[in-house]
Chain A
């Protein structure tokens, strides 16, 4: 029994009387399977993405400009108040969101490409190479990845590039494992035999027949992974080894805000924290919804 194929008893944002299925309804039912929560998550994510993309137009002040107006509470002039250097918290939050999306997005995309390639090759070829790589994945996955990320960033020198590279590195095993499993379970299917019989080369089987079929687990893990990556980048910055001040980042802003909480300047950390939580929450909602829609193990029945 698949819960998402059933009519939901939640209030649905749809027009019952519409004679033709509108574009919205088609998206709502086609992609999200009528899952109101997943759809709400996607809307929230879309809003956050738009804010991140048009951020430079949206900001009301220069996010890096220090002014003498320090630690002002929220007002009409400064929507989320100002920080200890007199910088506008709202403008910094918007810019941070943009930077965090770019860093986490690049990291996860890199991991998807490298990890899927490794997983595809291992699952398809099998044998000692597969055994070796999977043991390596076991080893890497038993490490405290946050601490490993800290060490690697210090080794490479702090900076945005290091965080992207580290995000790629610590996420490769996830995709290698998932895609290996997919390749392993699909390589014995009939359509692969059919392709081989009709004279397809090994490379063509791998990349034209096997790879496209591993797309859905990649999308599911990608959105859940992006949620974790955004959180990790912020956590690293909070611990002081991620994105460095004065570059705005949500984790840095929460860390800076912490030092002024005692003076009552709650506005310095509440906004960035909420935006961070909303970003991770929306990605998790979308990932969770797609997972129950696309995961082959959960799809049947």
Chain B
């Protein structure tokens, strides 16, 4: 039986990702193990040494590391991530509230970053070497250079404390509204589904500033890679040929050249997911956003083992999955990659 080349390609990529995921989980486990806190002592500060030994045995902490890792992985596959002694809930419960908060913020941020970065990159490539190119270059280097935490704090000061044009920068929704109950966990969408347009608008206004600061980190990588890839594809023969045929510039640039430049642009998406999730730790701390990043930062600074390893595992896995999706999407964008596996 002949296996289609696309399947071989995808299987190979999935296999590589699985290897990465195993390594990721081992490091996530090691991280929580390294943290300077003893789970027994931190939970029961005043117990005798014998009691402590007994507790350690009950919790399986006297077993060899490999056994502990195996048991950890087993409970992860059962969906049991342990308990946070910071919040008193299971990590699963905590994450159920925090993941949608971070996702909503990250999606708005990435959408803003791509909408700003893509045109900047295209303009830079089309007007390469001219003053437009230089303005785009300075703008995106500036976007990359301004530290997110300082920008966040400064924007809050001017736009909230001084000018009062944005709502109070605390959390996802001002306390005047009750959070919409819904399926998606995205306040904007849930509120719209419930027909509460005022709540949706309030949640959207709350999102604007943090999404802007988070998305600014995406502008530069997108603009850079778009400019480089577009410059290359604009030099291709098919563009010259199209010009000779008298095709419209807009069609050539936005249709053909951009399509030719898609592979490098899509490649950066994996990198961008990693960037945004790391940036979320900072932005969520500044804007008191109840998401994954702030949860992880709090857990790390309080040596809360279970949430730390789960957050690291979760973020690293999403980056690995993003990279896998990027690799698979190559095969759909570029038939040459698919055909490499045909032999």
List B residues 137-171 near A (Cβ within 8 Å): 137-138, 141-142, 144-151, 153-154, 156-157, 161
CA distance A14 to B327 in the complex (A): 48
At the interface, yes or no: B282 with Cβ under 8 Å from chain A? yes
**Does A145 sit within 8 A of B, measured CB to CB?**
yes
- A-B CB contacts (within 8 Å), total count: 149
Q: A142-B319, A239-B281, A261-B161 are in contact. List 19 more A-B contacts (CB 8 A).
A: A10-B131, A10-B134, A135-B20, A143-B24, A143-B27, A144-B277, A148-B312, A234-B149, A235-B148, A239-B285, A251-B149, A254-B147, A269-B154, A273-B151, A273-B154, A276-B147, A277-B146, A280-B146, A280-B147
Contact of B303 among A145, A154, A262 (CB under 8 A): A154
The stretch among A15-23, A73-81, A281-289 that forms the contact with chain B is A281-289
Chain A residues within an 8 Å CB radius of B150: 254, 269, 272-273, 276-277
Q: How far is the CB of A19 from chain B (nearest CB, A)?
A: 29
- Give A285's nearest chain B residue, CB to CB: B141
* Number of chain A interface residues as a range: 35 or more
Measuring CB to CB, which residues of chain A are less than 8 angstroms from any residue of chain B? Answer: 1, 3, 6, 8-10, 37, 135-136, 138-148, 150-152, 154-155, 157, 227, 231, 234-235, 238-241, 251, 254-255, 257-258, 261-262, 266, 269-270, 272-273, 276-277, 280-281, 284-285, 288, 298, 301
Interface SS, A side: helix
Most buried by A among B151, B300, B308: B300
Task: Flag whether B11 is at the interface (Cβ < 8 A).
Answer: no
In the complex where A37-B138, A135-B20, A261-B157 touch, is A9 in contact with B131 (Cβ < 8 A)?
yes
Query: Contacts A139-B23, A144-B312: A6 and B149 contacting too (C-beta < 8 A)?
Result: no
Collect the chain B residues with CB atoms within 8 Å of residue A141's CB. 274
Closest chain A CB from B174 CB (angstroms) = 18
Q: Does the CB pair B133–A143 fall under 8 Å?
A: no
CB distance from A223 to the nearest CB of B (A): 12
Structural contact, B128 and A280, CB atoms closer than 8 A: no
* B interface majority secondary structure: helix
A101 to chain B, nearest CB (A): 15
B315 x A143 contact (CB < 8 A): yes
Contact A277–B147 (Cβ < 8 Å): yes
Residue ranges of B at the interface with A (Cβ–Cβ < 8 Å): 16, 19-20, 23-24, 27, 31, 34-36, 128-131, 133-134, 137-138, 141-142, 144-151, 153-154, 156-157, 161, 228, 235, 274, 277-278, 281-282, 285, 296-297, 300-301, 303, 308, 311-312, 315-316, 319-320, 323
With a cutoff of 8 Å between Cβ atoms, the chain A residues found around residue B153 in the complex are 254, 257-258, 261, 269, 273
CB distance from B9 to the nearest CB of A (A): 18
Smallest CB gap from A298: residue in B: B228
